[in-house]
Amino acid sequence: MQLSSSQLLSIGWNSRLDIQFQPHAQAGLSPARVAAAHRDLCILLTESGELSAEVSGRFRLQTALTSGFPAAGDWVAASLRPQEGKATIHAVLPRSSAFTRKAAGERVQEQVIAANIDTAIIVMGLDGDYNLKRLERYLTLAWGSGAVPLVVLNKSDLCEDPDGRRLEVEAAAIGVTVLLTAAEPGQGLGELHTRLAPGTTAALLGSSGVGKSTILNRLLGERHMDTAAVREDDSRGRHTTTHRELVVLPSGAMVIDNPGLREVGLWGDEEALEGSFPDVEELARSCRFSDCRHDGEPGCAVRRAVADGSLAPERFESWRKLQRELRFLARRADESLRRAQLQRSKSLAKFQKRFRKDARF
């Protein structure tokens, strides 16, 4: 896929990026967008065509250790070797948004799922996949990403009361658009089409087996991603999408397809809860004490709302659980940062000691 300057604009290039890229242009580098990322190897969309790329040694040592490797949707500065079909990535431009989660496992580390997205499309199946608690986690991550969340309730043809489910989700996802679709037979995707404007980027997010690849195939009008049946006992599917990939739709919009996320580990700060729980956050601002812990203090507006039935106890408990998790994560992240800084200081001291010793000879 070869791109001209005008085509770069069509895949998201803008005046902000143009200003940010100027130092790299002076260094003789070219702009490119990451279409797919496979660990150390990326596929770039460039003015010289589609190229495979690795990060430079300097990037690996100085940048990747702190901000991570490029992710699908990133804009990068690269040196291009089109005659070889290759490129080298020297820098990642600042992201306008990034959907991130805590990486799977015990380590407190950020994993970027998709970068520079305008819309986070959270897909949930109206079968055994239906889970409001998990949806609340996705919404918290989406609001924290800088993108606008949109919920797609897929497989509505397999649900006895899809409209009732939509009302439940709308009550949990206050202010968020909720769409009903049945991607396999091709129903209800017209409104999703209209919400993906040319030049904008969306990310498909959700568990394995919810129909993300089927939705993408329908949006493309062709079979681009393989699909697979889900297990009947728990409605779980295999990872038919094995990597993150940016795809350009015929409409000019872009979609980043993602493998199903088995773990939806939170990442970010408590401000994300203002988007996913605006009702609880608004009540909390009305408490008598600004540092109210909502645990029996006098004048607690949140507890009063739970008592009079205007706030569901389950929603309050969900908010408290996610708030505790974000606070714990922040403490763990601070500890990890301090350990990393101490290790870097020790490494620098050893290097300086060795350098001074060598200089005497």
pLDDT digits (tens, 9 = 90+) for 224-245: 544 444 444 544 444 444 467 8
Are 114 and 209 in the same domain?
yes
State the total domains in the chain: 3
Q: What integer best gives the mean pLDDT of the chain?
A: 83
Candidates 32, 163, 176; CA nearest to 93 is 32
**pLDDT of amino acid 22:** 94
Paired with 180 in beta bridges are 153
CATH number at residue 302: 1.10.40.50
Rounded distance between C-alpha atoms, residue 109 and residue 38, angstroms: 18
The three-point CA angle 113-173-305 to 5° equals 130
Task: Note whether residue 262 is domain-resident.
Answer: no
Q: What are the helix and strand counts (H, E) for the chain?
A: 12, 13
Are 161 and 85 in the same domain?
no
Are 198 and 121 in the same domain?
yes
CATH number at residue 72: 2.40.50.140
Rounded distance between C-alpha atoms, residue 169 and residue 135, angstroms: 9
Output DSSP code: residue 290.
Answer: T
Q: What is the pLDDT of residues 312-339, one digit of tens each?
A: 999 999 999 998 888 887 776 555 545 5
Rounded distance between C-alpha atoms, residue 126 and residue 158, angstroms: 7
Domain encompassing residue 144:
98-257
Considering only 57-71, 154-168, 250-264, 270-284, which range has the smallest mean pLDDT?
57-71
Radius of gyration of the chain (CA): 23
How far, CA to CA in Å, does 172 sit from each of 36, 131, 137, 151? 33, 11, 11, 11
**pLDDT of amino acid 59:** 87
pTM score: 0.81
Task: Note whether residue 86 is domain-resident.
Answer: yes
Task: Note whether residue 269 is domain-resident.
Answer: no
In sign, the C-alpha dihedral spanning 22, 23, 26, 29 is: negative
The 3-state DSSP class for residue 236 equals coil
Task: Note whether residue 222 is domain-resident.
Answer: yes
